[in-house]
Amino acid sequence: MFTHDIGIVIVNYNVRHFLIQCLQSVRHSHTNNLKIDVWVVDNASIDGSQALISQNFPEVHLIANEKNVGFSAANNQAIKEMNAKYVLLLNPDTVLEEDTLQKCFEFMEDHPDAGAVGVRMIDGSGKFLPESKRKIPDLWNSFCKLTFLSDLFPSSKLFSGYNLGYLSESETNEVEVLCGAFMFMRNDTLEKTGLLDEDFFMYGEDIDLSYRILKAGYKIWYYPESSIIHYKGESTKKSSLNYVRTFYGAMHIYVNKHYGQGNAAVFARVIGVAISLRAMMSGLSRFISRIWRPVLDFVLIWLALSTIKDFWATHHFHQADYYENSEISYVLSAYSLVWVFFLWLGGQYDKTVKIWNTIFAIGSGTIFILLVYALLPENLRSSRAIILMGTISSALIATLSSLIAKIISKSGKQLSTDIVTAIVASKENALKLSEIVKKSGLHTDQIHYIFPGTQTNDTFYTNTIALLPDVVKNLKVNEVIYSSEDTTMKEIINSMSKLESKVSFKIGGDDSLSIIGSHSKNHPGELYSLDENYILSSSTSLRYKRIFDIVSSLCLLPISPILWVLNAFDHRFLLNTILVLLGKATWIGYGGEKQDFNFLPTIKQAVISYPQSEKKLSYQDGHFRRANIFYASNYSFLLDAKILIYNLFKVSNKIK
């Protein structure tokens, strides 16, 4: 006898803001007295997820793993603890409609031969996700998928077999594979098939389990009468090389497991080669996407300096071959490298960049060049005039390349940095959400307020949700934010599906001080939050911190004998220095218990705790938490330097 009707398993890894929204959508589900059992298996997150669940979702069972055991193993942990008639595997970056659970339960009750059912999924831009319904990989559909033929002919029965593109997204159909982001399964089915195969760390396990469900004699259904949002890729950061390695490695395991014997061995080898080639292409494309801008800047700056050099030789020295026998080419290359390095350090290649950051980065690079210039021998000196003209040229080139990146970037919806936002919410919530938007620092001035109902005479609102498509089109809105407190998830998903895919969607509300969303399935989620307004949360600050760790470590090594004495002849400082150089630790960081800093931007474990960097006879309640918040909010390169200098006698601390 089952104690629950539906058992839900959510495997989480460092996506707490998405997890909040997911759990809230489960909590707000209309289930007609169905008994729901919710389990979250946390794979050693360091973003405060575990504390958040314990404090805000007492009805949720939490399994806190000390290490990341993978998706399959984590799901199995919770499934073994459940006693529910149906089991739902649910990703943390999903949001359910209010009736999703009820409808899936009723569908399975009406189809006793069904082993599993999946629903219609849309991404953060409102676009249908084709992996909502799939076919078991065979030689032909795998070939079409790996060679992009299925992308070229998305509705062809011949070429789009992998994602069953020829089946309507709005019609209920039998399928062969469901996406692991939402798999609603009969417990009896899992008793026959066995649980998820733990050889799959992440990816591929949904295909494998679907295959075993079919072999056990059950049917798998795609059921589009309910839809969910899946901010696809957020929890695994699809742009990383680790994603490529993990995903295609899982495909290898699946092929070898099910096609590695007999006549199917040929299929396994062919698909294995294709997977390897696709993985190499994916990894290479991601590598190129990361380095093309700094490489372009380096080349353009070097060409500009070469042109300036020739101009200076001709018009100042009146001798075109003045630099012919010098080492000027190496010097100009070094100048170019320094400017590009400072551009990188200043955040030039981040998602957003301000022109003043570019100018400051180039200026800092110039100062560094001039300082080193004075120490160079005569044959390695160019001319200060070349450096000055190079500075101006580099600033112009960096600004131009940033503009080019916006033009050709797939994620760039417009050249303007202005974002026109429409907020669908009641007046009280609209003002709260607009405050979050304004404090994010990413927006300018245009915010339109949309009434979540059908009619209003309040001049506070631009229009109603029914006319939102016209508002988006005529007022050139490129971002829509919904309040989940004032609009149901069914209404939100329906509205998203009707609007243009060029619009970015986000959802806020409830008790969270954050707004989250995703522009497309290939882009990581975006987060606006009042509780993460820390200097240390920016990628630029994290780079400065990493540079400080490297430079300070290299400076400490020559004075090792002195440090040895200062640290009471404890040689651990050498191990700490190596760990910091390797990026396994940082010199200065948070202190206290996990709850004193697990809500702050993530950094490595520290040798010297900032809250303990000053001598105190005793610590008052809340001291560590307040000090950690101050450190994250006021971080600077100089702050770390000051703390390290005053605490050189602590560089042998044991890292906790």
* pLDDT band at residue 163 under the 50/70/90 scheme: confident
The answer to whether domain 4-133+169-233 and domain 421-532 are alike in fold is no
How large a percentage of the chain has pLDDT more than 90? 38
Looking at residue 128, the DSSP 8-state letter turns out to be B
Q: What is the residue extent of each domain of the chain?
A: 4-133+169-233, 296-408, 421-532, 536-650
* pLDDT band at residue 316 under the 50/70/90 scheme: confident
Contacts of 300 (CB under 8 A, 6+ apart): 397, 400, 401
CATH number for domain 4-133+169-233, candidates 3.90.550.10, 3.40.50.20, 1.10.1740.10, 3.40.630.30: 3.90.550.10
Please state whether beta strands 219-230 and 94-96 pair in parallel, antiparallel, or not at all (unpaired): antiparallel
Mean pLDDT of 263-277: 61
* Residue 17 reports pLDDT greater than 70: yes
The 3-state DSSP class for residue 273 equals helix
Sheet of 421-424: strands edge to edge?
Answer: 463-464, 447-451, 421-424, 479-483, 504-508, 514-517, 526-529
Mean pLDDT of 21-40: 93
pLDDT at 378: 73
* Residue 496 reports pLDDT greater than 70: yes
Mean pLDDT of 67-86: 93
The 3-state DSSP class for residue 526 equals strand
Contacts of 77 (CB under 8 A, 6+ apart): 41, 63, 65, 69
| Dihedral sign from CA coordinates of 56, 63, 607, 241 | negative
Mean pLDDT of 325-344: 88
Total residues belonging to the chain: 656
- 101: phi then psi, degrees, rounded to nearest 5: -65, -45
Q: Which residue has the higher pLDDT, 131 or 144?
A: 131
Q: Which residue has the higher pLDDT, 229 or 527?
A: 229
* Residue 213 reports pLDDT greater than 80: yes
The 3-state DSSP class for residue 434 equals helix
Structure tokens given for 506: 């986000």
* pLDDT band at residue 475 under the 50/70/90 scheme: confident
pLDDT at 202: 54
* pLDDT band at residue 236 under the 50/70/90 scheme: very low
Count CB atoms within 10 A of the CB of residue 487. Answer: 22
CA-CA distance, 516 to 506, in Å (whole number)?
5
8 A C-beta contact, residue 252 and residue 537: no
Average pLDDT for the chain? 83
Q: Among 272, 280, 279, which Cα is nearest to 255's?
A: 272
* pLDDT band at residue 444 under the 50/70/90 scheme: low
* Residue 307 reports pLDDT greater than 70: yes
- CATH number for the region 421-532 comes to 3.40.50
**Model-level pTM?**
0.68
8 A C-beta contact, residue 574 and residue 590: no
8 A C-beta contact, residue 309 and residue 328: yes
SS (H, E, C) 301-316: HHHHHHHHHHHHHHHC
What radius of gyration, in Å, describes the C-alpha atoms of the chain? 28
- 176: phi then psi, degrees, rounded to nearest 5: -115, -25
